[in-house]
Every structure is written in structure tokens, then in C-alpha cells.
A and B are shown apart, each in its own frame.
Chain A
Amino acid sequence: MTEKLVVIGAGMASGRMLENLFEIAPDAFDVTLFNAEPRGNYNRIMLSPVLSGEKSYEEIVTHDAAWYEAHGVTCRFGERVTAIDRSRKVVIAPNGEVPYDKLVLGTGSSAFIIPCPGHDLPGVVAFRDLEDTTAMLEASSGQGAKAVVIGGGLLGLEAAAALRLRGMEVTVLHLAGHLMERQLDESAGYLLQKDLEKRGITVLTKASTKAIQGEGKVEKVVLEDGTVLEADIVVMAVGIRPAVSVAAEAGLEMGRAVKVDAQMRTSDPDIFAVGECVEFNGQLFGLVAPLYDQAKVLAKTLTGEEEAFTPKELSTKLKVTGCDLFSAGDFAEGEGREDIVFRDPARGVYKRLVIEGEKLVGAVMYGDTADSNWFFGLIKDGTDVEEMRETLIFGPAFQGGGSVDPMAAVAALPADAEICGCNGVCKGQIIEAIEGGATTLGQIKATTKASASCGTCTGLVEQVMAVTLGDGFELPKAVNICGCTDLSHEDVRRLIKSKELKSQPAVWQELGWKTVNGCHVCRPAVNFYLLADWPLDYADDPQSRFINERVHANIQKDGTYSVVPRMFGGMCTPDELIAVAEAARKFGGTLHVTGGQRVDILGIRKEDLPAIWADLNAAGLVSGHAYSKGLRTVKTCVGTNFCRFGTQDSTGLGIKLEQKLWGSWTPHKVKLAVTGCPRNCAEATCKDIGVVCVDSGYQIGVGGAAGMDVKETERLVDVKTEEEVIEWTTAFLQLYREHGKYLDRPYKWLAKVGLDWVKEVLADADERAALNDRFEVSQSVYRKDPWAELAKPEPAKSFLPIADLTQEAAE
């Protein structure tokens, strides 16, 4: 006997279930199909190319009227089911009840709308169905030209690219640090963002929406950081939630969605569910592949065949023309996991495989997805990949990868490409010199001046020589930063500037890093280079710092920390000193007077750090950065204020210098001193920068050392006024920040670039002024007390004894 089957929802899952059912048992059921949308089943995942104009709606119709008619389906489209009466076994809808023997719920999901102020304004749209698509099309064809898409996941980005094609100015707001963070790692997210930006789409990550505003309709979006974006439409694409109200009201057992067993049966044996409205073993489903698996199982269940649903691994592809990405499995870093990374910066290719034990557990690919199905198969099947580990990244054909050739980039440079920025020497001039007989670096320096100044271009000059001379030139083996890269510190600094690389993922990708995220050697260096070169674009990454810099205190051998408040110029007030003493007493610290004229509170437990900082902040004291690769102290003598021999106000000048320079990060630590007369009580002549006051003005010396090496400063310049001291000192420090190799103290850096070059650069008043300007730009970000930030309740939690191990630094 034919049974009555009622299906609620004509989506892709229930549609596929019907196809399977009609195939297995064409006449077993008399089917009534309800759909709240006034149409039948279409391929919802292809709505984004319809939105972009790359497909027409007609092309994505899966079941048209003729199909439903041919299969005898009674269609109740445009009719939302209001209730299920399980006792009478009827479905209740506005145009009348329908009895069922078996009922299938395929009610799908609805878009999650962020409940921020203004979320209900006209012009705020989701992206779930054809109505939403039509609404966006209407908005894009009107006078309004600006769209803000909230959510940088699959759907949001497809909407963004489509609206851009339609002619809108599009901004994507994404809460996480990189796009599609659930499917992509940082490197792939970086490449995707770059590709979208190439299309004229603005991408803002770490962007949190505060409110949507407008008079009667959307006009702007306000972010938590105060940014205001004009908008004619706002597309919310932050996620979905199962549409299960009818099921819940019918009293079916619910979790986050309708609970089903492996046969897709709900808590009522005659009611089944399939698709996005289903919860199976605590899991929800949003991608199409498992939905189709469920459909197949349900069709068999309905016809009495044995079948069980098993969730499988899923893969992700993005439907934006020209963006080739693939992601599958689990690519989180973890204990016992090994990464295999391949990058081809020139082609914008990034591939990463994650292996655990002998199995491939995750794969992320961008720019080259040729072998993605093969990798996906290995993940799904749990294939033992031990035997092919060496060649795995090159795919099934072991094609050979072809590593990045740094020489190719140099060979491709045009003749007018500047090689030596200091002396304005182009590639063509170097080639001319080589052709004129210069075959060694020394000869090139002598004839062209290339690499004769700061020396950071030496590697590049040598590469030009190697390209030009071929076998006639033996390229000196560059000292690479670490095993993650073949590039030297100098190369990386130069390329960060010239290629305008402004994030770590950009450095890893564009410079062909061999690892996913660098290591404990390169990450701190790259972090410094980025913040020094792009202070406004790059945010310091604490996870790329050593423990002392990360917690803003020095770890001691017993695991406790030392806390050193700043005392500008070695001065403090009685109240400040009392505050230091009280803090030490309160937290059980030991006091020690340092050689840098400050008081060190030793023996503070990690969990007490935020509290002691708060106490010290309350007394007006800030971090002394006694732990940093940055400005440490400015030691002074008492100068003319008190000393009979003082020639100038050395204390006052020291305070001014420290107030200007504090908080700045440098390649290594920097210590200053200002001494009031040549008797040198402040020991200025063994500091990184030392100022000696004399009757005629000030002698500025640089490059001193009093550690493993002991070295006297060398005279940089003599000046007449305090203002000049501050200007020259700042310029020197900034030059060191811009050119120094990470972990080179100034004296080591000077030994490489030569004091003469530094003098020559700083003698130019315009250059000095520019260096001062750039330093101030950087200080607009970094001249602030890190303790005050970390003492706030939320960040202070990270100092509690149970650490968040996922956030451990690269050490």
C-alpha cells in the first residue's frame, strides 16, 4: 500500500533524499512537499555565482515543476508549516492539514544575525536564499555603491567578491586575525586576503562590529575601535543556526538541533530529519557532502533497507573565480604533529600537509590545488604515508617540486632597479662595472660605491655578480637566519622594506619560508624588523618574543620574576621610593639597587605581577623595560644642580632623553648615560650611547660596551645644545633600529657598517630630521607602559598559574 510521506523543506538535503527514494522505490510513497520559499529545490551553494552574474538562477534549479510532476509530488510551495500534531499524525499549514504516515524534516537553517544595535534596519541582509540574493542585487544596482560584509568565512567572501563584480565598493569585516580561520591557516589566509585585495575589496581583520546606524535604513557600520564605514547594504554572513522551531514545538528531542540516530530517525519513530536541522552525536552539519550522505541513508531507512550515517572528513573550496584554495582535515599545530610546507612566492603558491604518526591528517593549499582530491583521499582513508613522506608534498606523480630560486628574482630585475639605496647604484651600473673588469666585491665597491656604505645590500650585489659572471663568480655562502630560510638577516630586512611586507604571514609566504610559522630563532627577529619598519601597519606579536619580553619582567633562576620600575635619569621622588618599598614588602620582594640607577624588586611570583604593576602604576611608576631589546636606562650624574665640577645639567638632559626614547624596541638592548663632566661619574664612555658634558657643549659617543666585550665609545659628534643632543641621539637610535641586525648591540652593528657611514648619514640635517620623524611615528605606538595594559583584569588572567598552553611563545 502506498504510504503518505510529508516532507517539510525543499532544500538540497531533502531534494537529494527524494531523488534517492524515487530511484529505490518509485511508487512506495505519496509525497507532499512543503517549502516556505515559493519555489522548489535549487542548488543553494551556487547562489554566490548567481549573485556575481557568473551563473543564472535557471542554471541552478535542481528540480523544476516538470520533475515534481513526473514523480507525483504534491507541491505546497510558499507555505510555511506552522505545527506538527504528532497525536493525529498531521502537518498543519495555512492552506490546510496533511496527514502523514512518515514525516521528514528538512527545515534547514537560518542565518545568524549579530544582535548589535541597528541589526534590524532595512538594508541588513543575510545570504541564505534567492530572496536574499535578489535583495543584494537590487541594492547593488541602485545608487548606493558601498557594501559592508560582516564575516570573512566562505559565504561572506563569496558575497563580497560577487558584489564587487556587480560594481560595489566592498569592505569585509572579520573578527578573527585572518580570513576563513576555521578552514585556513594564517599563511593561506594571507594569500586569500591578498587575492581579494587585488580585486579592490578592503579586508579588515580583528574587526568587531559595534553598531549599524542609519535613519530609516542602513547608512554606516561602527566598529568597536571607533572606525566608521559608510554602507548602503550590510551583509551578515557570520554563521547559521538550525531552523528547528516546528520540531521543538512538536516535542521532539532536541539538542542544538533535532536529534537523530544513524538512520536519521528522530525521537518519534515516524518522524525523520535530514540536513542542517539535524544533530547527530552532538555534531551539526553545514556543508553539502554529509547532507547528501544523510539523504542516501534516509531514503534507505524509509524503504526498510539497512544503512547507517557516518560523518566523514570534509573539504572546503571557495567559489571565487581565480581564488584556488583547498582545505581538509585538521591542521592545528600540536604535539607529535609534523608539517611539510612548500611555498612558491612567485606563483603565490602555499601548500601545507600535517602528518600525525604515519598518517596525513590535514592539508591546506592555496594557488595550486591540482592534487587536492588525492590528498583528501589520503586523509579520508587514513592511508599510511610513511613510505612517501619525502615526496608527499609533490603529489601523486612525484613531479619534483622545484625550489624557489633567489637568483631568478635578481636576474629578472630591470637594469634601472636600485641595488644600493645608500649610494643610489642601479643594477645596470653594477653590470657595467663587471663588464669593465670588476670581478670582486671590493672592486665593485671601489668602482660603483655599491655596498660601500651600510652594507645591507651586499648580498644583493653579490647575486648580481653571480648572475652576470656565471661560473666566474663564487657566491659567498650567506649566513641564513635559521633553518626556516636560506636568507640572511640583511636580506630579510631589505626585502621587508622593498616588498612592503607588513605581516608575518606575508614574510613567510613571499620570502618562501620552509616552515609554517618560523621558529624561536627567526620569529623574534622578523617580529622586530616588521615593527621597526611598519610601526603603524604591524602590531607587535608577543608570541614571537622571549619569555622576559612577553611577560614584561625578568625570570630568575627560581622561577620568580624581577620587577624594575623606570626611574627617568636615575631620579625618583620620596613617594615613589616608598611605593617601591611598600610593593616589595606586600609581595615579598627583595630590593636591589642596580648599576643603571634603579631599584630592582626581586622574587615576585608570576601570578602577582599584574597586582604589583597596578600598585606601582598607582604611584606613577611605569615599566623600566629592564627585560627588553629596547631602551633600558639613561644613567646620569647630578651635574650642575649639585656637583661642583658639573659643566651642564646632565641629570635634566638624561631625563629628557629617557622621556623621549623609552618604550622603543631596538635590535638589542640600548643603554645610555649622560655625565656632567669628563670625570665621567655616569660612566658614559662605555655605554651604547654616551654623552659627556663639557664647558663648550656636549660630546656624543656611540658604540661603547661593558659586558662580554669592553669597549670605549667613539665620538659621533660634538654639539652645542641639549636640543642637538636629543636630535642626534634619536637619529642614531633610529638608524640603528632601521639597519641593525637583530641581537647586534650598536657596537657590533657599527663594526659592520662603519662609523664613517653613520656619521655621513647623520651629518645631513634633512636625513636627521627624517629619522627623528620616523622615530616619533614609531613612538606614537610604543611610548606607553606595557604594565598598565597587562594589569587590566582580562590580560591579567594570563598570569594565573594554569597557563594557556596553546599560546606559548616560540622558544
Chain B
Amino acid sequence: MQLKGDGIMDVAVDTPAKTFIQVAEIWVPEGETLVHGGGSYGDLGAFEAASRRESFAKGEGLPGKAWAEARPVVLKGFDGSYFKRTEAATEAGLTTAVAIPVFAGKALKAVLVVLCGDDANRTGAIEIWREADGLLMLDDGYYGAAKHFEWVSQHTHFPAGQGLPGGVWASETPMLMRDLGSGYRFIRADSAGKAGLTTGLGVPIPVPGENTFVLTLLSARGTPIARRFELWDARAAKVGKDGGAALVDGICAREGALWDPENAGNERRAEAWQGSIGKVLGSGLPVVESGKPGLAAGYSSMVALPIYLGGELAHIVAWYV
């Protein structure tokens, strides 16, 4: 099937632009400590060097806190906080960090940390939604310049099945929404439209215990979180017990839609250790790559996040800039 249309550019803009997320890094447990497991730092070499020297005990620093408390953590403003790399971060202009733990059942596989700079021109949203009394409420989030949207989000809740967070929660599946700004009953959607937010990636973040978390990444045209999003299904119930993953949805500023209904059941596959997605399948860990040839559609960096359900690798979401 041939897919065209300038409208795709609305949801993932392929023009040189500042990105919303400036740093993505992986921390992996080694005994009782989290050690550096790779990252993408752009031109923030000093912060990268400081990070590569770092490690975190359980409960220590931001990654250690996400591990100890078994929940995603948003930290805005590093001065006087438990953040361990405050000086290097400040020099790099980074002001906010979000730590996302990756648990397989009770076992921590890794912590993904993304960092953003405070910039009046950077718009986007990284949100953590938490279930309370049968509804998803905003636990915390970072919005850059989208202040009104931040306020609206703080006063919004989602029942199961409604909106991106509620849809992800109810289906226990990552979802990729286009055109966030229109066609929804939520006041939040109007505000999203005004803030220029277009594409939304929602991801379940399973943690040990009773808590339910959903992570949403909302990307704006001017300062996108990514120019390419991919959703891979790795459940045995979908791809069989031999493993691998199937590309079930995605959108790319360079290649257009990454799905094809006429190919259902025969989607693009990734096998363990084959490419970046294969690396996630093989290792079970998140992957951050940058400056490496061979990334999809010629992008310069990518983040791939595994999602476990019932202790088994179920989905992989990836985003590219």
C-alpha cells in the first residue's frame, strides 16, 4: 500500500529543531549498585564524562530512588536535592530529570533517565500518571514551556479506557496517539492543541506491588521528543514462543506510517541481537544509541524501552531523533 500525505509531517516533524529531551541514559544494577549502561548526550560532553564516572546505590541519587521506591520519579530543580550530578548538570543547562525504572516482575532490569533543559522555547511533556481510587491522576510531570497545559493536566483525571493514559492503563499496551489537540472530550486536549502538542506515546510502567503507573511522552512540532516512534509487540501470545518482536505501529517523519494493515500477522520482525531492537530483545535491557550508523531511517540517536508484563518482555517502544 502506498502511503503519502503531508499531514504526517504534522505529527513528526523532520526539520532541524531543538529536541525536548537532551539526554537519555541507562543505569543497570550490578550487585547492589546501579552502573552506567550507555547514553546519548549530544554535545554535552562534560556531563557525559561526569555521568560515566558515576554509580548509585539503592536509594541514592535519582536512579537509586526510582529503584528503591519502585516508581518513576520526576525531579525538577537539582539544587539542594538528592541529585548527585548537580554541578555538571547545571553547567550543561539541564534542570529536570525523569527516572523510569524497568522491572521484570520484582527484579529491576535497569533505570532509564531522561534529562531536559529549562528553556522558554522548549515545549513537550513527560508525565507520570498514577492510579488512585480507580482513576489515573497526575503523579508528576515536566512540561517545559507548556505551563497552561501543565496546570490543566494537574487538574485532570482519566478513568480506565479514556484518553491516552486511560487507554494504556486499560489495555496494558503501549499506544501511539496522533493529533492530540482535537477530537477529544477533555479540556486537556484543547490545551494540548494550543501548546502545539501533536503526538503522544503512552507506556505502562509496571512496578512491584499494587501501584499502577503510566508514562506519557507528548511531542510538539517545534521541539519534538522524537521524529520517529515505534511500537513493537514481543508477547509470546502475539509472536509465538520462539521470541522476536513485530513492529505493530509507528510513525516517522522520513518514512511515513510504519504500519500496514494488509500485512497484519506478517509485520516487520526483529530477532534477538538483530539491530537495536534485537539488542533489547536479547539483553532485556533498555538501549540508548547515538552517533551510530545503521539506525532506522538514518536518525542519529534512539531510545528503546522494554516493557514487561507478568515478568515477561511484552513490548518495546522506541523513539528516534
A interface residues, Cβ below 8 angstroms from B: 43, 45-46, 52-59, 61-64, 66-67, 137, 140-142, 145, 161, 164-168, 198-201, 317, 320-324, 347, 349, 367-373, 395, 397, 399
Name the residue on B nearest A61 (C-beta): B5
Residues of chain B in range 1-17 having any CB-CB distance to chain A below 8 Å: 1-8, 10-11
Given contacts A167-B186, A370-B236, 13 further A-B contacts (CB under 8 A): A54-B249, A57-B7, A59-B8, A166-B162, A166-B184, A166-B185, A167-B163, A199-B167, A200-B162, A317-B264, A347-B237, A370-B241, A397-B242
B180, CB-defined interface residue at 8 Å: yes
CB pair A59–B3 under 8 Å, yes or no, is yes
Closest to B158 in A: A167
* Contact (Cβ within 8 A) B237 A199: no
Within 8 Å CB of A57, what residues of B?
Answer: 5, 7
Asked if A322 and B240 sit within 8 Å, CB to CB, the answer is no
A198-B170, A317-B264, A397-B240 as given contacts; A58 in contact with B183, CB under 8 Å:
no
B52 at the interface (CB under 8 A from A): no
In the assembled complex, B238 has its CB within 8 A of some CB on chain A? yes
Q: A54-B249, A59-B251, A199-B171 are in contact. Are A167 and B184 (CB under 8 A)?
A: yes
Binding site for A on B (CB under 8 A): 1-8, 10-11, 159-164, 166-167, 170-173, 175-180, 182-186, 189, 236-242, 249, 251, 256-257, 259, 261, 264-266, 310
Tell me the complex Cα distance, A64–B10, Å: 17
Q: Who on chain B is nearest to A63 by CB?
A: B2
Task: Report how far A324 CA is from B235 CA in the complex, Å.
Answer: 11
Which residues of B sit under 8 angstroms from A397, Cβ to Cβ?
A: 240-242
For A64, list chain B residues within 8 Å (CB).
4-5
Which residues from A are CB-within-8-Å of B237?
A: 324, 347, 349, 367-370
- Determine whether the beta carbon of B265 is less than 8 Å from that of A56: no
Q: Which of B160, B261, B310 has the most CB of A within 10 A?
A: B261
Chain A nearest Cβ from B171, distance in angstroms:
3
A-B CB contact pairs (8 Å), 25 listed? A45-B261, A53-B164, A54-B249, A56-B7, A58-B5, A58-B8, A59-B178, A137-B183, A161-B161, A165-B161, A165-B162, A165-B166, A165-B167, A166-B184, A199-B171, A321-B175, A322-B170, A322-B171, A324-B238, A349-B237, A370-B238, A370-B241, A373-B266, A397-B241, A397-B242
B133 to chain A, nearest CB (A): 14
> Whole-angstrom distance between the alpha carbons of A373 and B152 in the complex?
45
CB-defined contacts of B162 to chain A, threshold 8 Å? 164-167, 200
Chain A residues positioned under 8 Å from B3 (CB to CB) = 59, 61-62
Q: How far is the CA of A142 from the CA of B183 in the complex (A)?
A: 9
Give chain B residues whose Cβ lies under 8 Å from the Cβ of A62: 1-3
CB-CB < 8 A to A53: which residues of B? Answer: 164, 177-180, 183-184
Q: In the bound complex, do residue A201 and residue B178 qualify as a contact, i.e. CB atoms below 8 Å apart?
A: no
Cα distance A321–B174 in the bound complex, in angstroms: 9
Closest to B257 in A: A59
Least CB distance, B167 to chain A, in whole angstroms: 5
Q: Give the chain B neighbours of A369 by CB distance below 8 A.
A: 237-238
- Residue of B180, B183, B240, B241 near A140 (CB, 8 A) is B183
Which interface residue of B166, B167, B239 has the most chain A CB atoms within 10 A? Answer: B167
User: By CB atoms of chain A within 10 A, which of B4, B164, B176, B310 has the most?
Assistant: B4
Interface pair A166/B183, CB less than 8 Å apart: yes
Are B7 and A58 neighbours in the complex by a CB distance under 8 Å? yes
Residue in B closest to A373 when the chains form the complex, CB atoms: B265
Which residue on B lies nearest to A43, using beta carbons?
B261
B8 to chain A, nearest CB (A): 5
For B261, the chain A residues whose CB sits under 8 A away are 43, 45-46
Which 5 pairs, one residue from A and one from B, show the smallest C-beta to C-beta distance?
A322-B171, A58-B7, A199-B161, A167-B185, A58-B5
A61 and B178 CA atoms in complex are apart in Å by: 15
B200 to A, closest residue via Cβ? A53
Nearest Cβ in chain B — how far from A227, in angstroms? 22
Closest to A199 in B: B161
CB distance from A54 to the nearest CB of B (A): 6
CB distance from A243 to the nearest CB of B (A): 23
Could you say which of A43, A142, A399 contacts B241, with CB atoms under 8 Å apart?
Answer: A399
Contact across chains for B161 and A141 when beta carbons are under 8 A apart: no
* Chain A residues with CB under 8 A of B259: 55, 59
If A165-B167, A322-B170 touch, does A56 touch B183 (CB 8 Å cutoff)? no
Taken together as a complex, chains A and B put the C-alpha atoms of A73 and B318 apart, in Å, by 40
Looking at the assembled complex, report how far the CB atom of A232 sits from the nearest CB atom of chain B, in whole angstroms.
10
Q: When chains A and B are docked, how far (Å) is the Cα of A53 from the Cα of B186?
A: 13
Cβ A43 vs Cβ B161 within 8 A: no
In the complex, what residue of chain B is closest to A66 when comparing beta carbons? Answer: B4
Closest B-chain residue to A348, C-beta based? B237
A199 touches B160 (CB 8 A): yes
How close is B200's CB to chain A, nearest CB, in angstroms?
Answer: 8
Known: A324-B237, A324-B238. A54 touches B179 (CB 8 A): no
Residues of chain B within 8 A of A52, CB atoms compared = 167
B4 adjacent to A322 (CB under 8 Å): no
Closest to B172 in A: A322
With A56-B7, A61-B5, A322-B170 known as contacts, the answer to whether A198 contacts B185 (CB < 8 A) is no
The listed residue (B163, B164, B179) touching A56 by CB distance below 8 A is B179
Chain B residues within an 8 Å CB radius of A317: 264
CA distance A324 to B173 in the complex (A): 11
- B160–A198 contact, CB under 8 A? yes
Q: When the two chains form their complex, are residues B171 and A321 in contact, meaning their CB atoms are under 8 A apart?
A: yes
Would you give the shortest CB distance from B259 to chain A, in whole angstroms? 8
In Å, the complex CA distance between A58 and B11 comes to 10
C-alpha gap A372/B237 in the complex (Å): 10
Of A59, A198, A373, which one neighbours B256 at CB under 8 angstroms?
A: A59
Contact (Cβ within 8 A) A56 B178: yes
- Asked whether B178 lies within 8 Å of A55 as measured between CB atoms, the reply is yes
Residues on A with beta carbons closer than 8 Å to the beta carbon of B175: 54, 321
| B contact residues around A164 at 8 Å (CB) | 161-162
Nearest B residue to A56 via CB reads B178
Give chain B residues whose Cβ lies under 8 Å from the Cβ of A145: 185
Interface centre among A61, A320, A324 (most CB of B within 10 A): A61
| Shortest Cβ distance from residue B188 to the other chain A in the assembled complex, whole angstroms | 9
Residues in B with CB closer than 8 Å to A165 are 161-164, 166-167
Neighbouring B residues of A323 by C-beta, 8 Å: 171
Complex interface: chain A residues within 8 A of B186 (CB): 167
**Bound-state Cα–Cα, A57 to B179, Å:** 10
User: Nearest Cβ in chain A — how far from B246, in angstroms?
Assistant: 10
> How far is the CB of A372 from the nearest CB of chain B, in Å?
7
Q: Is the CB of A321 within 8 A of B167?
A: yes
Residues B184 and A201 in contact, CB atoms below 8 Å apart: no
B164 surroundings in chain A (CB, below 8 A): 53, 165
Inter-chain CA distance A168–B162, complex, in Å, is: 8
Question: Which of the listed residues A57, A161, A321 has the most CB atoms from chain B within 10 Å of its own CB?
Answer: A321
Give the chain B neighbours of A395 by CB distance below 8 A. 240
Chain A hits for B5, CB < 8 A: 57-59, 61, 64
Q: How far is the CB of B269 from chain A (nearest CB, A)?
A: 13
In the bound complex, residues from chain A placing their C-beta under 8 Å from that of B170 are: 198-200, 322
CB distance from A143 to the nearest CB of B (A): 9
Instruction: Indicate if the CB atoms of A370 and B239 lie closer than 8 Å.
Output: yes
**When chains A and B are docked, how far (Å) is the Cα of A796 from the Cα of B154?**
62
Which residues of chain A are within 8 angstroms of B249 by Cβ–Cβ distance? 54
How far is it, in angstroms, between the C-alpha of A343 and the C-alpha of B241 when the chains are bound? Answer: 17
Cα distance A168–B163 in the bound complex, in angstroms: 10
The CA of A322 and the CA of B261, in the complex, are separated in Å by: 16
Between A45, A141, A317, A395, the greatest number of chain B beta carbons within 10 A of the residue's beta carbon is seen for: A141
User: Which residues does chain A contribute within 8 Å of B7, judged by CB atoms?
Assistant: 56-59
CA distance A369 to B241 in the complex (A): 11
Set of chain B residues within 8 Å of A324, measured between Cβ atoms = 237-238
- Say yes or no: A322-B173 contact (C-beta < 8 A), given A58-B6, A199-B161: yes
CA distance A317 to B263 in the complex (A): 13
Q: A324-B237, A369-B237 known; A54 and B177 CB under 8 Å?
A: yes
Chain A: which residue is nearest B185 at the CB level?
A167
CB distance from B221 to the nearest CB of A (A): 14
Residue contact B11 to A56, C-beta cutoff 8 Å: yes
CA distance A453 to B133 in the complex (A): 36
